[in-house]
Amino acid sequence: MSTTAPWLLAFDDERHLAEALARELAWPLHCIERHSFPDGETKLTLPAALPERVVVLRGLQQPNAKLAELLLAAPAARELGARELTLVAPYLAYMRQDIAFHPGEVVSQRHLGALLAQAFDAVVTVDPHLHRVRSLDEVLPGRRGTAVSAAPLLGAWVARHVARALLVGPDAESAQWVEQAARAAGLGWALARKQRHGDRDVSIALPDADYRNRGVVLIDDVASTGRTLAVATTQLLERGAASVDVAVTHALFVGDALAQLRAAGVRHVWSTDSVPHETNVVSVAPLLAAALR
């Protein structure tokens, strides 16, 4: 059995979380260098010799280019000495496409999971969007999948910043996160229903509750275009909420998402650093470190 400490490998654009994680674990951190050729190809350079256990940190926001990098980096790491290779993807993309709604539609969750299972021995992530599938192990055939949740941390953050907050999940899938956040913080919670009509077009039905003069906080795993949270906010304010704040694990916030939230009347937007973003207030580094230990 090797006595060498595992190495953490990371890319320069995720240095902040990588450094926090390496500090938590007291593991050496090394960089995977990237060069982009004019034609769009990428050259990666890993440390020339690797220990037996290697952990690669790569969040899969803007996933397509990063997946190509991972599929190159993983076999290269094995050639350079890694025997046990773990991927830490704080945000794991493609998890929402878990069923074919129309004939021929690709169930990306399943195929992405199979690809990662070929490349890595284990995958660690935060709040993956598992809805019709119970556990990450089911997504990664024959490999270890570990999912940790930032919802309790977000709940504790909310409890410190909003007196008597009511937590609201915007759709059925968010029940798992809003319930954990509420339990950790000793707060009340409720669940809305959502219908998606298009990428930027959703309708929300709020649950019956007295929102008047309440500080309401919307909790979700991921905000992408922000439309889900913006529509819910408009309705909550119409129903008399004193304030609406938003707390999400993964701050994708693409395009004009933040502007949409502000325009709808959201007061604070809070997120974890699973995706680097100006709204980050809670670090997932301790959660990831615990899972890796």
d(CA 241, CA 14): 37
**127: amino acid identity, one letter:** D
Of 10 and 246, which has the nearer Cβ to ligand R5P?
Answer: 246
User: Are 215 and 162 a contacting pair, CB within 8 Å?
Assistant: yes
239's tokens: 């129903």
Q: How far is the CB of 177 from ligand R5P (least distance, A)?
A: 8
CB of 258 to ligand R5P, least distance (A): 11
Here the tokens at position 61 are 């926001």
Residues at the contact surface with ligand R5P, assessed by CB under 6 A? 96, 129, 170-171, 173-174, 202, 220-228
φ/ψ of 146, rounded to 5, equals -125, 125
Nearer to ligand R5P, 171 or 245 (CB): 171
Please, what is the minimum distance in Å from the beta carbon of residue 113 to ligand R5P?
18
Closest to ligand R5P by CB, 86 or 272: 272
Is 153 or 202 the residue whose CB approaches ligand R5P more closely? Answer: 202
Alpha-carbon distance of 137 to 134, in angstroms, equals 9
Q: Which is nearer to ligand R5P, 113 or 128 (CB)?
A: 128
Instruction: Give whichever of 73 and 222 is closer to ligand R5P, judged by the CB atom.
Output: 222
Q: Shortest Cβ distance from residue 169 to ligand R5P (Å)?
A: 9
**Least spacing, CB of residue 39 vs ligand R5P, in Å:** 32
Least distance in angstroms from the C-beta of 58 to ligand R5P? 21
**How far apart, in whole angstroms, are the C-alpha atoms of residue 191 and residue 219?**
10
Instruction: Please say which residue, 16 or 268, places its beta carbon nearer to ligand R5P.
Output: 268
Task: Give me the least distance between CB of 61 and ligand R5P, in Å please.
Answer: 12
Nearest to 74 by CA among 123, 147, 36, 137: 123
How would you class 114 by CB atoms within 10 Å of its CB: exposed for 0-12, middle for 13-18, buried for 19 or more?
A: middle
Q: Which of 22, 15, 79 is nearest to 55 (CA)?
A: 22
Task: With residue 270 as reference, give the H or E element that holds it.
Answer: strand 269-272
Q: From residue 78, how far is each of 32, 35, 49, 55, 252 by CA, in Å?
A: 14, 21, 10, 12, 31
